[in-house]
Amino acid sequence: MSLVEIESEDAIISITLNRPDKHNALSPDMLRALLDAFAAVEEEKNRRAVLISGHGRSFSSGADRKAVAQLSGGDEIRGYAQLMRDTLSAIRNCAVPVVASVHGYALGAGCGIVTVCDIAVAAPDSVFGFPEIRHGILPALVVPGLVERIGPNRAFPLLATGRDIDAAEAFAIGLISEIAKDDPSIRAREIALRLADAPAGHIEKLRELVRSSSEDGFDSAIETARKHNIDARLEAAGKSV
C-alpha cells in the first residue's frame, strides 16, 4: 500500500495521504513519500495546480507520536526534524498553487500542512489545532506557516493553549479559506480547476505578488507589482520588454 497516492488529471495533480487506519498520522516513511510526491510535481511539465487530501476519517492527525518516540540518538532526531522541515517547505514553495481539502482532524503537523497550502477548504465538522504543548512537546516547526497564515497575535495563544477549534473559528481567524457546504473535496477540486484554467503564469505571478505584499512592505511590494503589470501587458500585446 502506498502511503501517499498521486494522480494527474486536467492539469491537476491530486496527492492523497493514505494511512486511513491511523488518521493519516505522519510517520517518517509517510513524510518521505509526501516529499517525493511534491518533488514529482516539480518535474511534471503540465501541472497547473495541486490538490491535497486524506483518505479515511481525517485529513491528518499530525505527527505519528509512537514512531517519533522510537527515534534513537541525535542523528535520527535531527533527520526527522529536517524531513518535516523539508516537507513543509516543499508544499509552501511548490511551483503551482496547492489546494487542501480538509475533513475530520487536522492537528499538529497535519494542521501545519494546511497552513502552508495556498487555499484550504474544510468540511463543516472539521477540527483543527496544535495539541503538542499538552503532550509536553514544543510545536516548533509549525510556527512559521501558522504565523504567516494568521499572524502572531492569533498564532501564539492557539499554540500555547493547545486547544482545538472548529471550522467556523478556523475560518474566522483565517486559518482556512472556505467552509464547504458538504463534501470539501468537490469544492476544492472546483477551485483547483479554476486555477488550472487561468492564463499560463498569471496565478503563479499573482501568488508572488500577494506574498511580497505581505512580507516586503508597501514600497517594495508596489514596485514588484509595477514590474509584473508591465510584463503582463507587454506579453498580452505581443511585445518584448
Q: Any idea where the domains of the chain sit in the sequence?
A: 4-196, 199-237
> Is pLDDT at 26 greater than 60 in this prediction?
yes
Q: Which three cell numbers stand for residue 94?
A: 511548490
Could you report the per-residue pLDDT of 69-112, keeping only the tens digit for each? 888 888 888 998 999 999 999 999 999 999 999 999 999 999 99
- DSSP assignment of the chain, as one string? --SEEEEEETTEEEEEE--GGGTT-B-HHHHHHHHHHHHHHHH-TT--EEEEEESTT-SB--B-HHHHHT--HHHHHHHHHHHHHHHHHHHHT-SS-EEEEE-SEEETHHHHHHHHSSEEEE-TT-EEE-GGGGGT----TTHHHHHHHH-HHHHHHHHHH--EEEHHHHHHTTSSSEE-SS-HHHHHHHHHHHHHHSPTTHHHHHHHHHHHHHHS-HHHHHHHHHHHHHHHHHHHHT---
Identity of residue 102: V
| pLDDT, position 89 | 94
Q: What percent of the chain has pLDDT over 70?
A: 98
> Could you read off the pLDDT of 134-185 as tens digits, one per residue?
999 899 999 999 999 999 999 999 999 999 999 999 999 999 999 999 899 9
pLDDT value, residue 170:
98
pLDDT at 241: 47
Q: What is the pTM of this model?
A: 0.91
The whole-number pLDDT of residue 239 equals 59
* 61 neighbors 110 (Cβ within 8 angstroms): yes
Write out pLDDT tens, residues 47-64: 999 999 999 999 999 999
- Residues 110-126 have pLDDT tens digits of 999 999 999 999 999 99
Tell me which fold the domain 4-196 belongs to: 2-enoyl-CoA Hydratase; Chain A, domain 1 (3.90.226)
pLDDT value at 240 more than 70: no
